[in-house]
Amino acid sequence: MPYLQMSPIDSSFCWEDLSWFRTITQLPIILKGILTKEDAELAVKHNVQGIIVSNHGGRQLDDVPASVDALPEVVAAVKGKLEVYLDGGVRTGNDVLKALALGAKCVFLGRPVLWGLACKGEHGVGEVLNILKDEFHTSMALTGCRSVAEINQDLIQFSRL
């Protein structure tokens, strides 16, 4: 079977292209694929409204860091000047809690929702979302958080290297 490749990636897109992009839309500009503090700082410099910390499912390049591992550095780099979201690797309600504790404003879901859809259609998607919600509420209760506002980095233990 011949090798099928996705459409070529245009590597000519650069930070300066954001100026042009602003001329064609009034919508907020949110960049996906930010994994380093340097890119996060450039996003702030270019006045985007948000960034999505994402390794695109790790399927584009081998050995890219997990999104959640890049999250703390990116959150620290933007210093609250724009919203930071997390995409990738979220499979449980506890993963949601961890992402929020590390500074993400919200998370995006991919595979879990698709698994629910594949198994039980629309009803399966609802079941997956309810499971994640229940797990999230359980994780909050076990960590003593009564509201999302109480979730913070103190909930996360970092290993010492």
CB 67 within 8 A of CB 88: yes
Which token pair is 102? 């590390």
Q: Which residues touch 133 (CB under 8 Å, ≥6 apart)?
A: 93
Residues with catalytic function: 56
DSSP H or E segment with residue 118: helix 111-142
Round to whole Å and give the CA distance between 103 and 72.
7
